[in-house]
Amino acid sequence: MPIKWHNLSSNQLLTNSAFLINYCIWAQPHSKRAPHSQHGLTVPPSPPAARPTDPRSVRPPPGGCIDEAGTARKHGERWQDNTDHPCAWLSCDDGRVSVDLNISHVCKGQPEGFDCVASRKPGHCCFEYFCNQTTTHSYWGSGPAPPPESPRFFAPCLDADGQKHSHGTQWTSEDGCNGYSCANGKVTEVPIVCLEVAPHANCVPVPASGHCCPEFVCPPTLNDCVTETGEIYVDGAVWAGAQECIILQCSAGVIEKFPVSCPPPPSDPTCQRIDAPQLCCPFYACPTEGRCTDSAGVVRPDGAHWSSPDGCTHYDCMSGMIATGTVTCEPLPLGGICYEVPPPPGQCCPSYRCDIDGGGDGGGDDGSDGGGDDGGDGGGAGNDAGSDSQGQ
């Protein structure tokens, strides 16, 4: 089988071990799956759908399913598709869609002796009955309960084989294709709908003993991939290979290999790297106690010191609190004509150049002595001005 290698960045396919674990669950070979059963009613599992080429196409999440209406369902999700038979629930279990008739639930019938209106809430299995309150000889109404010598009875049901079923019970036919329920002597039939479709035209349905819906045996096609162990994956399927930190994908009959690229470590120097033998990439344990988050969203460790871009504000992280200090610059010198010299980048305070008594450029940076007859002081302001510290 031809093999292609690709290098993936951390933003492609895998960025951590969770992706690897999820795909190990999602992309199981469909030829190896067994049907899933609940309460005797089974719908064989759906094979993992081929990865759609259109990114807008519906694709189930890892371990999820696609229901008959084309809706993506998560692993473990339950829903009701048939409004005529709300006691039939569908569930998604690791890519398998199963039908559950909820045979453990018993619904009460309509009260006798009352004028009632039946109503069923969305998502509820049983009817609720809204009855007038004028009749008092039934315990369903608002009047007194009936005497002990007149209990409420429900008629049983007989199935096609003459077997008796009590009120409220549910059962299935021998071939598993029909479900039945008994309600006060009346048998209601609930047909089982097979939701699985053949993965491709070459698949052959095979009857399963005790199950209505068939299983599909699919010979490999030109676009399917067959592993060295004989497992078949449809075009677009992704799974974990036997080699560590390698992801395999079936692409038009060719198994391609993708090495896992690990994300870069966090910038926080206090984070501790942890290597686990079962994971391809290391993970980092970063302490949270005493850390500070500045206005730019950067997390600073306890004791860190930093400044604003203009150098005029200093910050200190003190046990989770940010202390702020502001630099105070010297004012413009007096006694001459002085010019402000802008500070270099990252330095807060300017320097001054002063011309004493208009006699020319008598001073230098930082307000040096002008050197005139009167010995005037240029009085420059340095950048080592003090800072006032206050808690933020």
Q: Is residue 28 predicted with pLDDT exceeding 70?
A: no
> Which pLDDT score, from 0 to 100, does residue 167 have?
84
> Which pLDDT score, from 0 to 100, does residue 313 have?
92
CA distance 257 to 8: 10
Angle of CA points 298, 11, 233, to nearest 5°: 150
Question: 91 forms bridges with which residues in the sheet?
Answer: 78, 98
> Which pLDDT score, from 0 to 100, does residue 103 have?
53
- Give long-range contacts, CB 8 A cutoff, 24+ apart: 195-198: 195/43, 195/46, 195/67, 195/68, 195/90, 195/97, 196/43, 196/44, 196/45, 196/46, 196/97, 197/46
pLDDT tier at 149, thresholds 50, 70, 90: very low
pLDDT tier at 102, thresholds 50, 70, 90: low
Q: Is residue 387 predicted with pLDDT exceeding 50?
A: no
Average confidence (pLDDT) over 117-125: 70
> Which pLDDT score, from 0 to 100, does residue 82 have?
56
Percentage of the chain with pLDDT > 90? 2
CA distance 279 to 214: 39
Half-sphere exposure of 56 (CA within 13 A, CB side): 0
pLDDT tier at 377, thresholds 50, 70, 90: very low
Q: Per residue in 51-81, pLDDT tens?
A: 443 434 567 778 888 877 778 888 888 877 6
- What's the pTM? 0.24
In the chain, where the domains are located? 60-134, 153-217, 220-261, 298-327
153-217 is a CATH 2.10.70 domain? yes
Q: Per residue in 219-246, pLDDT tens?
A: 777 788 888 888 888 888 888 877 778 8
**Phi-psi group of 348: left, alpha or beta (phi > 0 → left; psi -120 to 50 → alpha; rest → beta):** alpha
Return the amino acid letter for 232: I
